[in-house]
A and B are shown apart, each in its own frame.
Chain A
Amino acid sequence: MDLADGGHQQGKPRSEPTTPYLLVLPSAAYLVLFVFYPMVQAVLLSVTEPRTGTFTLEHLRRMVTDLHFWPALRYTVLITALAVPIQAALALAMALLINTRFPGHPYFLYVCAIPLAVSDLAAGLIWLSLFTERGYLNAILLRVGLLSSPFNFLSYESPGWLVGAIVATEVWRATAIVMVVLVAGLQLIPRDYAETAAVFGASAWRTLWHVTLPLLRSSLQTALIIRTVLAFQLFATVVTLSGRLVPVLAGETYFWYSLYRNPHVASAYATLVLLLSAAVTWVYLRTLRTPEEAA
């Protein structure tokens, strides 16, 4: 880097020490203004008295004592805890199927990836057409003779079904991103590992359990943590399917800002989402760093 022709071997450009910084600067400045500044602002708003500008814990108190707060926290965690393992299992099944390279697997990959382009709002509306009282699920249950009058899956009287519908929608929508991570991870595993295991007489199951899965561990971790962080943003699926019957953190942020016109309590919710995401990100960075340090 210090010699003019030092970059030959990797084709590094000759040293122009300020150029990379100038290239990175615009996007870095932009992210500071539109990501880091609002993050700080969210924290400040949640502890500032609007008229006097002094420090107050009043907004946090209002958030915590609100009727919807604990249910929102509980439901956010519950839906995440139910959806993420199912997503992981389904995505693993998809990825392993793709990895067998059966004829037609490119089409299968494409089909499995379609939900990548579907928003949480669209997914909520799609599954509403199944679960609503006059929806396709009731129509099919009637057709096969399991029902005579429509059952309301999305009512406060059946919270189990309500959560089930949200989890199904989340699984349908977000399995794709987990699948992409796992397919990419599987491609990094040399094929001869599994072949060697087969030569030594390991069954397909044992190969999967003792060879493939351990090698896939870091991809699996990445995928799970991405999903967990994204789960704190759970909003449109829940709102379209349940309104406010199932409160969630992001939903409460929206209601406090748009309905109650209170940016301070809304900011308190935003800060909570921020802290939870940061906590998971911290775990993410730690788990990512471990293999590098070990190597």
Chain B
Amino acid sequence: MSLRRLAVYAAALTLSAWVLAPIGLIGLAAVTSREQLYRWPRPLWPQPITLDTLAFFLRQEGVLRALGNSLVVAGLTILLATALSAPAGYALARYPFRGREAVQLGLLTTKMFPATALAVPLAVAFLRWGLYDTLVGVALVHTALSVPFVVLIVASVFRGVSPELEEAAMSLGCNRLQAFWKVTLPMALPGLAAAAIFTFILSWNEVFAATLLTVNHRTLPALLVHSVVAEGAPLHYRYAGGFFLVLPALVIIFLIRRYLLTLWGVTVR
């Protein structure tokens, strides 16, 4: 029995190391000086620990603006995706309407169609509509990518709020809208916040569409792809860039660690 327990712990530790070690190493690389990153024999431990590499990255042209752009796009995406998905999620959770199955099938199908296939035709269309190379344009695409997921998350959130409470409010004289506003919405807020966080991560991490749709208004991932592929950015720039991409995601996923399984579990159903 104790041998079995030992085996379980050993396996868990090994797998944890497999996940954590690369993140630790990029963190280490990000605080290593440029000179040491290129030296051979290559020292494993930075001596001394320095913020020069990170500062160098942030001082590069366009980096701070790209960071800002990423945040603006994510913010717009959250607003749009929530506004569009919340009503649909509510309908799926509460109404047994005809065509419900078709809606769910449609969501499942759209979920499967990748940004890779949508980005080129959208870029062509956006050139015509005056949305090419704008943050709004990128946010519109990110919204399209997140709506199918957010609808499912929101539907499961509303399913978690008992409809009887809503009915009680209605029998006490509220109309449907008031009942929703005063009873259901406050109870669903934490779940809706989790959906917003999911949307943030999706938008923050989206690379392909952002890369194809922007030239002068790149998001951070788009800027990094451009500097790595088209301009051959140096290693320390790449490490610092990777570090800044991962950092917010790590913080956020730590904050919502308790809802991780539910959140992502819903989206893959």
Contact = CB atoms under 8 A, between A and B. Distances in A.
Nearest to B4: A204
B91 A19 contact: yes
B87 A27 contact: yes
A113 B16 CA distance: 10
Interface stretch (B60-68, B71-79, B185-193, B239-247): B239-247
Nearest to A38: B121
Contacts of B156: none
B245 A109 contact: no
Interface string B131-172: 000000000110110011001000000000011101100000
- Range of interface residues on B (Cβ < 8 Å): 35 or more
A49 to B, nearest CB: 15
Interface residues of A, number: 106
A113 B125 contact: no
A278 B219 CA distance: 29
A120 interface: yes
A132 B233 CA distance: 14
Interface in B228-269: 228-230, 235, 238-239, 241-242, 245-246, 249-250, 252-254, 257, 260-261, 264-265, 268
A116 interface: yes
A274 B39 CA distance: 45
B268 A177 contact: yes
A159 interface: no
Interface in A1-46: 1, 11-13, 16-17, 19-24, 26-28, 30-31, 34-39, 41-42, 45
B116 A257 contact: no
B183 interface: no
B69 interface: no
A122 to B, nearest CB: 4
Contacts of B176: 13, 16
B85 A27 contact: yes
B246 A24 contact: no
B144 A136 contact: no
Given A21-B97, A28-B88, A100 B8 contact: yes
Contact of A122 (B41, B162, B246): B246
Interface in A126-149: 126-130, 132, 134-136, 138-140, 142-143, 149
Chain A to chain B: the 9 pairs with minimum beta-carbon distance, closest first: A125-B242, A119-B205, A117-B249, A34-B144, A11-B163, A41-B121, A23-B91, A20-B95, A23-B87
14 contacts: A1-B96, A12-B95, A12-B163, A23-B91, A27-B147, A38-B117, A42-B118, A118-B249, A119-B206, A130-B22, A180-B260, A250-B114, A253-B116, A263-B120
